[in-house]
Amino acid sequence: MTGEQVLTAEQMAECDRHTIEDIGLPSLVLMERAALAATDVIVKQMSTNKVLVVCGVGNNGGDGLAVARLLWLKGIPVTVVLIGNPEKATAQTKTQLKVCQYYGITILEALPELDTYTTIVDAIFGIGLSRSVTGKFATVIEQLNAAAAGKLAIDIASGISANAGTVLGTAFKADVTVTMAYQKIGQTIAQGPAYNGDIIVADIGIYQDDHSIEG
């Protein structure tokens, strides 16, 4: 079903759309499955002494906020940094933000001192990255890269072009990437492999050819 195929950002976005609009699986269900998959890898493979989840305001950030909540509910110390204007967040990400606020998870607007964090989760940009990373986003990514913590990227290392595999300005350097449904072509070419770390493809219920699936 998933695994071997490699998709462009546009193909992946079309698969997302098809699953949500044509099949009818709610977007928040897919986001929850993405977050459960990433959380599982964090718990099994990363140090959970103190986790920092750095989120943008797109749906990649929504995945990150859901991960933060799932870690929190397991009793793992977690802090969120939200970069970007929350008023511009997607509907799903606004919902995830509200839920994190309900649980009293600390949500910062700027990076804290990174020395004590054992794992950093990158949920800044996913396949929606559309231009070069500059300004505060670039500064944050460079500071994260300089930290000693283990690093996990959600879907794709922020700053890597999902189609070309090139670094768009600057990019997060992950030890592990949990990518949703299919690898993106940019993870397999150019600088992509050097920034992914180990790739884990998570089956979250999105299939490119769902008519060929046998029950």
Ligand X SMILES: NC(=O)C1=CN([C@@H]2O[C@H](COP(=O)(O)OP(=O)(O)OC[C@H]3O[C@@H](n4cnc5c(N)ncnc54)[C@H](O)[C@@H]3O)[C@@H](O)[C@H]2O)[C@@H](O)CC1
Q: Which of residues 45 and 90 has its CB atom nearest to ligand X in the complex? A: 90
Minimum Å gap between C-beta 12 and ligand X is: 8
Per rule CB under 5 A, is residue 79 in the interface with K ion? no
**Residue 126 marked as a ligand binder:** yes
Q: Give the containing element (helix H, strand E) for 8.
A: none
Per rule CB under 5 A, is residue 153 in the interface with K ion? yes
Q: Is-contact 159 168, C-beta < 8 A?
A: yes
Per rule CB under 6 A, is residue 155 in the interface with ligand X? yes
Q: Which of residues 131 and 214 has its CB atom nearest to ligand X in the complex? A: 131
Q: Is-contact 71 208, C-beta < 8 A?
A: no
Find the binder of ligand X among 7, 58, 165, 176 (CB under 6 A): 58
Structure tokens at 110: 């700027």
What is each CA distance from 207 to 1, 30, 94, 179, 181, in whole angstroms? 7, 12, 26, 14, 7
Angle ∠(150,31,41) on CA atoms, nearest 5: 30
**Residue 84 marked as a ligand binder:** no
Per rule CB under 6 A, is residue 41 in the interface with ligand X? no
Find the binder of ligand X among 72, 117, 125, 195 (CB under 6 A): 125
